[in-house]
Amino acid sequence: MRILGIESSCDETAIALVTGKGDWLKVENSTVLSQIQTHQQYGGVVPEVAAREHLAAIFPMLERELPFDGQGIDAIAVTSGPGLAPALRVGVEVAKALAWSWGAPLIPVCHMEGHVYASWLPRSKRLFPFFPQRVPKFPALSLIVSGGHTELVMMHDHGKFERIGETLDDAAGEAFDKVAKMLGLQYPGGPNIARLAVGGNKTAFDFPRGMIERDDFTFSFSGIKTSVLYTLRKNEDKLDDAKFKSDIAASFQEAVVDVLTQKSMRAIEQYKPKSFILAGGVAANIELRNRIIKEGERRVTRVFVPPFSYSVDNAAMIAAAGYFRARNPKNFIEPVDLVADSNMDIV
């Protein structure tokens, strides 16, 4: 089965073709056009600007990558939520038009579910398509961590999710972005914090680890954000000191990684999944990846961390989720019935 994936939930316009056979997937092509430079002048993503950029980019991308009549495409998977409503609508409306024009089945996909399915994508191009590869086994536990979400989700089977914990306030990625602004770093904050932290002392500041002592799986990152703000206010004379800022970044990153890792490991010990999946844009953070792999492999047989290119927003992961959803025709939707849902939930 050959799936066209379309992604436009935030500031990346992406399309991909993914072919599946059994549990094995092959990425024929995956194209992502980032809007980072456009939004840097605003200090963050402006929804209406993002939508205009998607509209300008998506049709040339489709013309370059796809046959005009959609020949050979068995279904279309599109991110229908969550995300920025104006941005989502571009991808959704394009997918609806293509499905109607080609007569292809249409599959709405939750963006967060797509991030989970990034771990089913092959880590590299292989000589033989559908070469057996290691894929997650069920039940699988996933830490989904991004700019808008931080949650622990049990995946009992394809498309069957149960949330066991989530943030009560800021998401981890949101905290990264806000602290980056405090430090005068450009958007996107997460990667810039990580780069700045490389030269810093991660024990220089003892920032709070929100809810780390609680036995449940709830998260909170508002406290650490506030603590960083107060630390900067108390040290205004050091704001131009590169080493001081690096120490702040490293200490902040260490605190966030501590919370995410310890909560995840506690969940592994309690739920005893066969696999653990790190998913979401913050999964591109090297410190988090390394810690999750190191600690996870002590407790569970299989730890899955997608390649960097599939950790950030892309359409291959949406096509992957669509492939497994396409196994059940009940997941198809009539184009006229599909609407973008900025609050779409994975469970």
User: What is the per-residue pLDDT across 311-339, written as a single tens digit (0 to 9) for each?
Assistant: 999 999 999 999 999 999 999 999 999 99
Residue-range domains of the chain with CATH? 2-121+309-337 (3.30.420.40), 140-305 (3.30.420.40)
Q: Indicate the annotated binding residues.
A: 111, 115, 144-148, 177, 190, 285, 313
pLDDT at 124 over 80: no
Task: Give CA–CA dist 160/325, Å, rounded.
Answer: 11
pLDDT at 131 over 70: no
Handedness of CA 342, 344, 345, 346 (dihedral sign): negative
Residue 284: count of CB within 10 angstroms of its CB: 20
Task: Give CA–CA dist 14/87, Å, rounded.
Answer: 12
Report pLDDT for 132. Answer: 58
Q: Sorting pLDDT into bands at 50, 70 and 90, what band is 68?
A: confident
Phi-psi region of 272 (alpha: psi -120 to 50; beta: other; left: phi over 0): left
Q: Sorting pLDDT into bands at 50, 70 and 90, what band is 128?
A: very low
Report pLDDT for 96. Answer: 99
DSSP string, 249-272: HHHHHHHHHHHHHHHHHHHHHHH-
Report pLDDT for 342. Answer: 98
Is the model more confident about 155 or about 65?
155
Q: Indicate the annotated binding residues for substrate.
A: 144-148, 177, 190, 285
Task: Write down the pTM of the prediction.
Answer: 0.96
The SS3 call for residue 165 is strand
Q: Indicate the annotated binding residues for Fe cation.
A: 111, 115, 313
Residue 189: count of CB within 10 angstroms of its CB: 23
pLDDT at 126 over 80: no
Whole-number Cα distances in Å, 2 to 13, 14, 258: 20, 17, 40
Q: Which residues contact 268 (CB under 8 A, 6 or more apart)?
A: 141, 276, 296, 299, 300
State the residue for tokens 């902040």: 252
Task: Give CA–CA dist 49/42, Å, rounded.
Answer: 10
Query: Across residues 204-229, what is the average pLDDT?
Result: 96
- Per residue in 241-284, pLDDT (tens digit) is 999 999 999 999 999 999 999 999 999 999 999 999 999 999 99
pLDDT at 130 over 70: no
Residue 101: count of CB within 10 angstroms of its CB: 12
Report pLDDT for 123. Answer: 79
Query: What integer best gives the mean pLDDT of the chain?
Result: 95
- Per residue in 282-295, pLDDT (tens digit) is 999 999 999 999 99
Report pLDDT for 125. Answer: 58
% of the chain beyond a pLDDT of 90: 94
Query: Across residues 11-40, what is the average pLDDT?
Result: 96
